[in-house]
Chains A and B, each alone.
Chain A
Amino acid sequence: MKDLGAGTIYTETVVYSPPEAYVNDVPYQLAIIELSGGHRVTGRVAGERAQIGDRVQFAEFRNNVPFFKKQS
């Protein structure tokens, strides 16, 4: 799996009412991240909460889901 690099939060939410597969994950932050180059991807934000416009850095894929972390 490739490194998605850095990006910017286009939009985000924190999910409290999960689908069956993620009942143990709540609450979790879900976001659409605009990567450099303009392509958007839906992923999770781990750790500190990010808001629209915040810069985030790709961290890892977990079960094919891209996880990002807010840049400090």
Chain B
Amino acid sequence: MRAVAVVGIGKTAFGAFPDRDLRSLAVEAGQKALENGRAQASQVEAFYLGNFAGPSFVGQNHLAPYISSAIGINGVPATRFEAACASSGSAFFHAASAVAAGLYDVVLVGGVEKMTSQPTPKVTEILAGAGDLCGEVRAGATFPALFAMIARRHMYQYGTTREQLASVAVKNHQNGAKNPLAHMRKVITMEQALAGKPIAEPLTVYDCSLISDGAAAVLIVPLERAAEFTDKPVRVLGVAQTSDNVALDEKDDITTFRAVKTSAEKAYKMAGVQASDIQFAEVHDCFTIAEIIAIEDLGFVPKGQGGPYSLAGGTCLNGERPVNASGGLKSKGHPVGATGVGQICDVVEQIRGQANERQVKRNTLGLAQNLGGSGATSVITILGAA
């Protein structure tokens, strides 16, 4: 297998953009990634797109060629990947695997979602389609409700507190306020976070990520050709995707995501590193509890210690191991299909030393964790200075 490098990144702002359609967002991110990687559209040999629910949110199908042709990429494979909130993480995994295998040299991977054109109850219903429609969803489960039930059980088994959950939101808003592309650039206090409007007990509006529009893209090539495209290549040291049951009531222990553990084990092995070597991470904080469980499942802290570690500041920008320096899904925004590739862009920026006010000090080995649904898909990507 060949070593793979990220040589170009492109992101749109994340937010609510009533005047922008899905395609224009995806095209903007794709063109920025090409420009950033000093590449022409005509050089691209395949286009991989992550998108969760374009057909439901905006009615458009056949999205990959619809977008790639508008970027000027024609006549090559253009394919959409759907894995709920891990859609573009999955697209990246498959694209990187194809480049590693020698199938292509120059590949563009994009992710996009256009969510804000629908009212919240409709968005809630579309998102719930990533759960088990014949069981939990029919009974009235929404994604906030599923993660609320996960939070309740985590609190019951490990003594995790409301304050520990809220500390994740406070920290991510602090980071996101420094991110010019973030959806909600607003610092919040612990008091505000604790007193937020209830969404699904024990989660308040401040425990939930945002409904956003946005897109992200990366250009990947074999490491041996990286110098043609950039002075600052970032190496894909490990990437793995695994799966688990969709329905929450089919999992033995809902306080852990089995797929996150298995994909992390594979990615660590591929990269030849251990959890303790990872210096910083972008994790999938679709809800505050998800970040707490992520740092446990990734092996950053022992099981049950995610809450106390977060409240103590271990994951802050200047903490022992910064997590979600970008602001995370909580503050940066969560345009579902764009999230996985967006996280990879954020890790690459850190490794290049281009994160400005959000720059972490130890920046040579970072990880991105992208979760689909309530844990049925997990993609882990480990990136390092080349």
A residues at B contact (CB < 8 Å): 10-23, 25, 28, 30-32, 40-44, 52, 63-66
Contacts and interface: CB of A to CB of B under 8 A. Distances in A.
Interface in B81-106: none
Contacts of B135: 41-42
B140 A28 contact: yes
Nearest to B127: A19
B156 A52 contact: yes
B125 A14 contact: no
11 contacts: A15-B142, A16-B199, A19-B124, A19-B137, A19-B140, A20-B121, A30-B149, A32-B149, A41-B249, A42-B249, A44-B139
Given A11-B156, A16-B198, A42 B247 contact: yes
Interface of B: 120-122, 124-125, 128, 135-142, 144-145, 148-150, 152-153, 156, 197-203, 247-250, 254
Contact of B139 (A14, A17, A40, A43): A43
Given A13-B200, A13-B201, A17-B144, A42 B152 contact: no
B152 A12 contact: yes
Contact of A17 (B120, B156, B254): B120
Given A42-B136, A42-B248, A44-B139, A11 B149 contact: yes
B124 A13 contact: no
A19 B130 CA distance: 13
Contacts of B247: 42
Contact of B124 (A10, A12, A17, A31): A17
Nearest to B197: A16
Where chain A touches its partner, the secondary structure class is: strand
Nearest to B147: A13
A23 B121 contact: yes
B140 A18 contact: yes
A42 B156 CA distance: 18
Contacts of A23: 121
Contacts of B200: 13-17, 30
Contact of B145 (A13, A40, A65): A13
B152 A13 contact: yes
A16 B197 CA distance: 9
Contacts, number: 91
A16 B148 CA distance: 11
A13 B148 contact: yes
A40 B144 CA distance: 20
Contacts of B124: 17-20
B141 to A, nearest CB: 6
A43 to B, nearest CB: 5
Contacts of B198: 14, 16
A1 B100 CA distance: 53
A66 B104 CA distance: 51
B121 A13 contact: no
B142 A19 contact: yes
Contact of A14 (B120, B136, B201, B250): B201
Given A19-B121, A20-B124, A41-B249, A13 B139 contact: no
Nearest to A28: B140
Contact of A25 (B125, B137, B140): B140
A42 B199 CA distance: 19
Nearest to A52: B156
B149 A12 contact: yes
B139 A18 contact: no
Contacts of A17: 120, 124, 142, 144, 199-200
B198 to A, nearest CB: 5
B125 A19 contact: yes
B122 to A, nearest CB: 6
